[in-house]
Amino acid sequence: MKQIKTVGVLTGGGDCPGLNAVIRSIVKAGNACGLTTLGIKNGFGGLVNNEWTQLTAQDVSGILPRGGTILGTTNRDNPFHFPVADHEYADLSARAVTNLQQRGVEALIVIGGDGSLRIADEFRQKYNLAVIAVPKTIDNDLPGTERTFGFDTAISIAMEALDRLHTTAESHHRVMILEVMGRYAGWIALHAGVAGGADCILLPEIPFRISSVINKVRERQQQEKMFSIAVVAEGARLTGGSPVVARIVDGSPDRIRLGGIGNQLAQAVEEEGRIETRCTVLGHLQRGGSPTAYDRILATRYGVAAVNAVQDGEFGCMMALKNNRIVRVPIEQVAGKPANIPLDDDLIRAARAIGVCFGD
Amino acid sequence: MKQIKTVGVLTGGGDCPGLNAVIRSIVKAGNACGLTTLGIKNGFGGLVNNEWTQLTAQDVSGILPRGGTILGTTNRDNPFHFPVADHEYADLSARAVTNLQQRGVEALIVIGGDGSLRIADEFRQKYNLAVIAVPKTIDNDLPGTERTFGFDTAISIAMEALDRLHTTAESHHRVMILEVMGRYAGWIALHAGVAGGADCILLPEIPFRISSVINKVRERQQQEKMFSIAVVAEGARLTGGSPVVARIVDGSPDRIRLGGIGNQLAQAVEEEGRIETRCTVLGHLQRGGSPTAYDRILATRYGVAAVNAVQDGEFGCMMALKNNRIVRVPIEQVAGKPANIPLDDDLIRAARAIGVCFGD
Amino acid sequence: MKQIKTVGVLTGGGDCPGLNAVIRSIVKAGNACGLTTLGIKNGFGGLVNNEWTQLTAQDVSGILPRGGTILGTTNRDNPFHFPVADHEYADLSARAVTNLQQRGVEALIVIGGDGSLRIADEFRQKYNLAVIAVPKTIDNDLPGTERTFGFDTAISIAMEALDRLHTTAESHHRVMILEVMGRYAGWIALHAGVAGGADCILLPEIPFRISSVINKVRERQQQEKMFSIAVVAEGARLTGGSPVVARIVDGSPDRIRLGGIGNQLAQAVEEEGRIETRCTVLGHLQRGGSPTAYDRILATRYGVAAVNAVQDGEFGCMMALKNNRIVRVPIEQVAGKPANIPLDDDLIRAARAIGVCFGD
Amino acid sequence: MKQIKTVGVLTGGGDCPGLNAVIRSIVKAGNACGLTTLGIKNGFGGLVNNEWTQLTAQDVSGILPRGGTILGTTNRDNPFHFPVADHEYADLSARAVTNLQQRGVEALIVIGGDGSLRIADEFRQKYNLAVIAVPKTIDNDLPGTERTFGFDTAISIAMEALDRLHTTAESHHRVMILEVMGRYAGWIALHAGVAGGADCILLPEIPFRISSVINKVRERQQQEKMFSIAVVAEGARLTGGSPVVARIVDGSPDRIRLGGIGNQLAQAVEEEGRIETRCTVLGHLQRGGSPTAYDRILATRYGVAAVNAVQDGEFGCMMALKNNRIVRVPIEQVAGKPANIPLDDDLIRAARAIGVCFGD
Residues of chain C neighbouring D13 (CB-CB closer than 8 A): none
Task: Establish if D82 belongs to a structural domain.
Answer: yes
CA dist B334 → B7, B117, B134, B143, C68 (Å): 23, 8, 12, 6, 43
What is the per-residue pLDDT for B3? Answer: 87
What is the per-residue pLDDT for B57? Answer: 93
Is B121 an active-site residue? no
* pLDDT tens track for A143-188: 999 999 999 999 999 999 999 999 999 999 999 999 999 999 999 9
What is the per-residue pLDDT for C258? Answer: 54
CA distance A110 to A94: 17
Return the CATH number at D121: 3.40.50.450
> How many alpha carbons lie under 13 Å from residue D59 in its C-beta half-sphere?
18
How distant is the Cα of C36 from the closest Cα of chain D, in angstroms?
23
Between C255 and A108, name the one with better pLDDT: A108
The pLDDT-based confidence of A306 (bands split at 50, 70, 90) is: very high
Residue D7 has a CB neighbour count (10 Å cut-off) of 24
The pLDDT-based confidence of C12 (bands split at 50, 70, 90) is: very high
Q: Of A28, A61, A292, which has the smallest distance from its Cβ to C354's Cβ?
A: A28
D56 in contact with B at a CB cutoff of 8 Å?
Answer: no
Check if the beta carbon of residue C121 is closer than 8 Å to that of residue C331: yes
- The residue out of C224, C257, C287 marking a domain boundary is C287
Quickly list DSSP for C260-308: -HHHHHHHHHHHHH-S-EEEEE-GGGGG-SPPPHHHHHHHHHHHHHHHH
Q: Rounded mean pLDDT of D255-259?
A: 48
CA distance B110 to A170: 20
CA distance A303 to A259: 39
CA distance D109 to D120: 9
Check if the beta carbon of residue B87 is closer than 8 Å to that of residue B80: no
Q: Do C278 and C306 share a structural domain?
A: no
Q: Do B135 and B253 share a structural domain?
A: no
Task: Establish if A346 belongs to a structural domain.
Answer: no
> Is residue C37 a known part of a binding site?
no
C170 in contact with D at a CB cutoff of 8 Å?
Answer: yes
Residues of chain A neighbouring C152 (CB-CB closer than 8 A): 293-294
Return the CATH number at C179: 3.40.50.460
What residues of C act catalytically? 139
> Is residue C137 a known part of a binding site?
yes
* pLDDT tens track for C42-77: 999 999 999 999 999 999 999 999 999 999 998 888
Q: Do D171 and D276 share a structural domain?
A: yes
D292 in contact with B at a CB cutoff of 8 Å?
Answer: yes
Residue ranges making up the domain that contains D125: 6-149+291-333
How many angstroms from the chain centroid is the CA of residue C66? 17
Question: Which amino acid would we find at residue B304?
Answer: V
Q: Do C162 and C62 share a structural domain?
A: no
Q: Rounded mean pLDDT of C264-282?
A: 95
> How many alpha carbons lie under 13 Å from residue B316 in its C-beta half-sphere?
10
Q: Do A49 and A158 share a structural domain?
A: no
Task: Establish if D359 belongs to a structural domain.
Answer: no
Instruction: Name the nearest CA neighbour of B181 among B139, B153, B151.
Output: B139
Q: Rounded mean pLDDT of A106-116?
A: 97
| Res D256 pLDDT > 70 | no
Q: Of A191, A293, A350, which has the smallest distance from its Cβ to C304's Cβ?
A: A350
The pLDDT-based confidence of D356 (bands split at 50, 70, 90) is: very high
CA distance D187 to C92: 50
Residues of chain A neighbouring C312 (CB-CB closer than 8 A): none
Catalytic pick from B15, B121, B139, B295? B139
CA dist D268 → D124, D176, D226 (Å): 49, 13, 18
State phi, psi for B291 to the nearest 5 degrees: -70, 155
> Is residue A286 a known part of a binding site?
yes
Q: Do D194 and D140 share a structural domain?
A: no
ipTM: 0.94
Q: Do A174 and A119 share a structural domain?
A: no
CB < 8 Å from D in window 34-53 of C: 42
Task: Establish if C359 belongs to a structural domain.
Answer: no
* pLDDT tens track for A309-327: 999 999 999 999 999 999 9
Say if the Cβ atoms of A171 and B69 lie within 8 Å: yes
CA distance A136 to A152: 12
Q: Do A107 and A46 share a structural domain?
A: yes
Number of domains in chain C: 2
Task: Establish if B344 belongs to a structural domain.
Answer: no
Q: Do B254 and B160 share a structural domain?
A: yes
What is the per-residue pLDDT for A255? Answer: 37
What is the per-residue pLDDT for D258? Answer: 53
What is the per-residue pLDDT for A244? Answer: 56
Q: Do C129 and C25 share a structural domain?
A: yes
Q: Chains with 3 or more CB pairs closer than 8 angstroms to D?
A: B, C
Check if the beta carbon of residue C43 is closer than 8 Å to that of residue C72: yes
What is the per-residue pLDDT for C75? Answer: 80
Best residue of D75, D86, D164, D227 to probe chain C, by most C CBs closer than 10 Å = D164
The pLDDT-based confidence of D331 (bands split at 50, 70, 90) is: very high
Check if the beta carbon of residue D285 is closer than 8 Å to that of residue C164: yes
How distant is the Cα of C164 from the closest Cα of chain D, in angstroms?
4
CA distance C58 to C37: 12
Q: Do D324 and D283 share a structural domain?
A: no
Q: Of C72, C161, C284, which has the smallest distance from its Cβ to D173's Cβ?
A: C72
Q: Rounded mean pLDDT of C229-248?
A: 77
How distant is the Cα of C247 from the closest Cα of chain D, in angstroms?
19
What is the per-residue pLDDT for A246? Answer: 39
| Res A1 pLDDT > 80 | no
Say if the Cβ atoms of A173 and B42 lie within 8 Å: yes
Check if the beta carbon of residue C350 is closer than 8 Å to that of residue C193: no
What is the per-residue pLDDT for A76? Answer: 81
CA distance C355 to A29: 7
Q: Do C55 and C33 share a structural domain?
A: yes
What is the per-residue pLDDT for C254? Answer: 36
Say if the Cβ atoms of A280 and B280 lie within 8 Å: no
Between D266 and C255, name the one with better pLDDT: D266
- The residue out of D263, D287, D311 marking a domain boundary is D287
Which residues of chain B carry a pLDDT beneath 50?
Answer: 245-257
The pLDDT-based confidence of A258 (bands split at 50, 70, 90) is: low
Consecutive H or E run containing C123:
helix C114-127
CA distance C160 to C282: 11
Check if the beta carbon of residue B210 is closer than 8 Å to that of residue B202: no
> How many alpha carbons lie under 13 Å from residue C299 in its C-beta half-sphere?
39
* pLDDT tens track for D156-195: 999 999 999 999 999 999 999 999 999 999 999 999 999 9
CA distance A37 to A24: 10
Q: What is the dihedral of CA A283, A138, B200, B285, to 10 degrees?
A: 40
What is the per-residue pLDDT for A243? Answer: 53
Question: Which amino acid would we find at residue D139?
Answer: D
Residues of chain C neighbouring A349 (CB-CB closer than 8 A): 304
Contacts (Cβ under 8 Å, ≥6 apart) of B222: none
CA distance D138 to D135: 10
Q: Of D195, D303, D353, which has the smallest distance from its Cβ to B293's Cβ?
A: D195
Instruction: Name the nearest CA neighbour of B326 among B343, B312, B337.
Output: B312
Q: Chains with 3 or more CB pairs closer than 8 angstroms to C?
A: A, D
CA distance B129 to B126: 8
Task: Establish if A186 belongs to a structural domain.
Answer: yes
CA distance D174 to B94: 50
State phi, psi for B195 to the nearest 5 degrees: -65, -30
CA dist C66 → A137, B66, B316, C58, D107 (Å): 29, 10, 39, 15, 52
Task: Establish if A42 belongs to a structural domain.
Answer: yes
Please tell me whether the overall predicted TM-score, pTM, comes out greater than 0.90 for this model: yes
Nearest-Cα residue of chain C relative to residue A24: C354
Task: Establish if B72 belongs to a structural domain.
Answer: yes
Q: Chains with 3 or more CB pairs closer than 8 angstroms to B?
A: A, D
